[in-house]
Chains A and B, each alone.
Chain A
Amino acid sequence: MDILGSFALLLAFLAAVYAVVAGIVGILTRRLLLTKSARNAGMAVFVLVTIAVACLEYFFFTNNFSMAYVAEHSNRALPAYYKFAALWAGQEGSLLLWTWLLSGYVFFVLFLHRKRHPELMPYAGVVMASVQTFFLTLNNFVATPFQVIASADGAGVMHLAKLAEGRGLNPLLQYPEMVIHPPMLYLGYTGFTVPFAFALGALLGRYPGEKWIHITRRWTMIAWCFQSIGILLGAHWAYAVLGWGGYWAWDPVENASLLPWITGTAFLHSVMMQEKRGMMKVWNVWLVFTTFMLCILGTLLTRSGVVSSVHAFAQSSIGTWFVVFLAITFTVCFAAYWKNRDYLRSDNQLDSLVSRESSFLFNNLILLAACFAVLWGTLFPVLSEWVQGSKISVGAPFFNKVNVPIALFLMLLTGVGPLLAWRKTSFDALMRNFAWPLGGGVLAGVVALIFGFRDAYSLVCLILCVFVTLTIASEFFRGARVISARDGTNLLTSIGELTMRNTRRYGGYIVHFGMVLVFIGIAGTPFNKDIQKDLGIGDTLRIGPYTILCQNFDQVSNNNYQSDRASLEVFRNGKSVMMLFPERRLFLASGITETMVAVQSSPLRDLYVVYAGRSPESGRPAVHAYLLPLVKWIWFGGIVVVLGTILALLPNRRTVLVLRPATERSWTGAIAEVSAAMGPVASRVEGND
């Protein structure tokens, strides 16, 4: 099986190389047969890499400890779902996962578009196959997952060796999220290859118009959605496993995942400018290029060890390969742009500064500012060491100081943008659309102040969140009212009808609402409380409205780990409200101890308890309790973001046009009728998105 896996990977590499070469020759010689053959080779890569992945999984499930990768990352007692997830526990496997997911995307893109866009597809196919070739080079020649363990006998002859037991999976990875978090994140990273390939392909082939954007819009949204899920799951993993009461530490790996997400978000907005107005063609192409390159840069940063991270489980000297690939990618992109820049000439016209177009411009500017600030902070220690010879730290306070104002400004634009019309918005329309949301936001701020909400950033965040929520609600309400008046349906049905008629627009609003919920969750951070105390049986600890009584310490064990468990009874107002069981697990294969946090989550606050072990000073069991307001809103907001994105991916429901015989009617009558049906909306020029 190891030979089958290795052989499949090698064949996949050859197929990818063939897809590149045959694709280029096919384009240059205009031989259709050759480009078709290249396409088939690109699709075959997925089949071959799938065989390799299946082989490696087979080794994990059969405890084949003659395979170095399996012995390093698994053991017999490891539960089946973690054996499955052990595939991406190290460098070699995670790179194989990357290649597999990428080849999956390539397969589906080539298959679904096999009969369409005959001029563009060969170019896009060559770009995708080139990226595949790079990763398959790593899989085959730099970090092969199919290395076997061998030992030399007395005569120096090498023999296969098989270990009796593996070293086990890193305990930090033995958490349900780790079964789905890396594949989700990688689906995001690899998914951005598709718009990149089409953008570069369209540029190289001088493919006319905005077609490449129409083709890749859904692919970009799919990648963005997976990236969002991956980031959220990663944050939840950090929250639930690392036991520090936080979910985002501006760690380099976290930042690396955020960077392409930010530029991807910018692209999803600015792409509308090109679709609606034919503007910002150069900008959009470079946004896609940058997003792809940031995916590679993030991988370089975290795998090369250039910056250290608690999330990095696969570091090695592989960085040089990524540097070279990044340099080649940039050179190709720049050369393609320079050679074909006249093709990207935009018909940029702006009728008014107060318009949807300018709000998108500012949105992109702010998103790029956030991206730069995160990248700059992540790389600055390296830059500082290079210039000054001494390393400095750039910790979470720096990122918070720089990014919180940017994020708040972005939230403001999230509310303002959708209320502005394409081309121009009149002052009256501006006042009419903003009065209620703004009033609601200010009122919420006043109420919050009265109730003792004193943190400035949190207060501004709350005001903006209410403002944005009301603007979104007003958008749904206005549209639904028109449908309701015309069809005689109730408002709720009308909202459903409205949403399904323009899923992209209203799905986008739901995504915005999800982000509002995430921001509300983050706004609770300044009000976090924590206390650490030695707790014997019968001792109590007070935090916020809760009193925690230590009832017992016991041990729970299975084949995989031994667990020390604290039984804590939680009282509120003298009444017992819950039991919490934080644990410390000693994983037998690796001999490493990890904590399992106990969390009681509610919309208002999370009670988060860590059994820290025996205090080095007193020798008594220590419990660290945190009271974390509004954290649950972040996870809920994340779910709303994902649902909104899925909705935006759905095709619009088509309205049925019923024709009736034309009658001679006066224009004024018709205008009055339409105005009556549309109400105040009629006075506003609206775009579709």
Chain B
Amino acid sequence: MTNTVRALKNTRRSLRLFFASSSVRFALLAMVAALLLAPISLNTASAQVLPRAKSIAKRVMCMCGGCQDSAGMCSHPGGTFSGPCETARAMQKDLDLRVARSESDDAILTAYVQQYGPTVLVEPPNKGFDLLAWVMPILVPLIALVLVWQAVRGWRHKAVLAPAGGPPIDPRLLARVEREAGNEPARENDE
């Protein structure tokens, strides 16, 4: 027991001496800082900058003029390289830089519209005349729905007013059916 206590005291003393050294303290501090900052720097490199840039690249058209793809999806089949063309690669790099400079999505898209015109956006802008592109596919079916509803109402009304079709049923047969089905015989004024 005495030996164990002595061994613990020696260990504590050695540890105190070890941590008293300034170089060790600096190294430890650096390690902790590195451990804390590592996720942030990794995050900045892969999780934030590239995916966000890639996502924005899918919202802008490749402006090479030879394809109808977004800069993020540009894939010229054939040619010297079957992948993003030179223009799309340049746009992707530019987007990487802008995202690294912490420019917002809206600011980047606005800058692109200023540079290339509204055709650079893969979707019509939701303002001015171009808002119609979004509104009409909703508005037209709604109008159609109202018209169909009106028509259906008219048809239902007609169905109520319409006299019963088909050949007249023999009252004796009807009475027999009612009787055998367990109902009261049909009265004259019920027919």
Contact (Cβ within 8 A) A393 B120: yes
Per the bound structure, the CA–CA distance linking A283 and B58 in Å amounts to 41
- What sequence of 0s and 1s flags, for each residue 451-471 of chain A, a beta carbon within 8 Å of any chain B beta carbon? 000000000000000000000
A516 to chain B, nearest CB (A): 23
Known: A353-B152, A667-B180, A668-B181. A397 touches B81 (CB 8 A): no
Please tell me which one of the listed residues A244, A361, A384, A614 contacts residue B130 in the complex, with CB atoms under 8 A apart.
Answer: A384
| Contact status B122-A244, CB under 8 Å | no
Q: How far is the CA of A172 from the CA of B82 in the complex (A)?
A: 13
**Complex Cα gap A309–B69 (Å):** 11
Q: How far is the CA of A174 from the CA of B81 in the complex (A)?
A: 19
The residue in chain A whose Cβ has the minimal distance to the Cβ of B138 is: A402
Quick check: A365 and B123 within 8 Å, CB to CB? no
Q: Decide if A398 touches B155 in the complex (CB within 8 Å).
A: no
- Cβ contact within 8 Å between B77 and A172: yes
Question: Chain A contacts of B83 at CB under 8 A?
Answer: 532, 610, 612-613, 615, 622, 624
Q: How far is the CA of A401 from the CA of B133 in the complex (A)?
A: 12
Bound-state CA distance A7–B129 (Å) is 52
Asked whether A242 lies within 8 Å of B75 as measured between CB atoms, the reply is yes
B69 touches A244 (CB 8 A): yes
Most-contacted residue by chain A among B67, B89, B117, B159 (CB, 10 A): B159
In the assembled complex, B38 has its CB within 8 A of some CB on chain A: no
* Residues B148 and A361 in contact, CB atoms below 8 Å apart: yes
**How many chain B residues touch the partner (CB < 8 A)?**
53
The bracket for how many chain A residues form the interface is 35 or more
User: Which of A249, A350, A392 touches B152 (beta carbons < 8 Å)?
Assistant: A350
B145: which of A308, A365, A390, A398 is its contact (CB, 8 Å)?
Answer: A365
Docked Cα-Cα span, A666 to B82, in Å, equals 80
CB of A553 within 8 Å of the partner chain: no
Interface of A, secondary structure class, is: mixed
Task: Tell me if A369 and B144 are in contact (CB < 8 A).
Answer: yes
Whether A393 contacts B61 by the Cβ 8 Å rule is yes
Q: Which of B86, B145, B156 has the most CB of A within 10 A?
A: B156
Contacts of A373 in B (CB 8 A): 137
Tell me if B82 and A372 are in contact (CB < 8 A): no
- List the interface of chain A (C-beta within 8 A of B): 171-172, 241-245, 249, 251, 279, 308-310, 348-353, 358, 361-362, 365-366, 368-369, 372-373, 376-377, 380, 384, 387-388, 390-398, 401-402, 406, 532, 584, 592-595, 610-617, 622, 624, 666-668, 671
Q: Which residues of B contact A (CB under 8 A)?
A: 58-59, 61, 67-70, 73, 75, 77-83, 86, 89, 117-125, 128-130, 132-134, 136-137, 140-141, 144-145, 148, 151-152, 154-156, 158-159, 162, 176-177, 180-182
> 13 A-B Cβ contacts within 8 A?
A348-B155, A349-B158, A368-B141, A372-B137, A372-B141, A376-B136, A377-B133, A388-B130, A394-B133, A398-B124, A595-B77, A616-B89, A668-B180
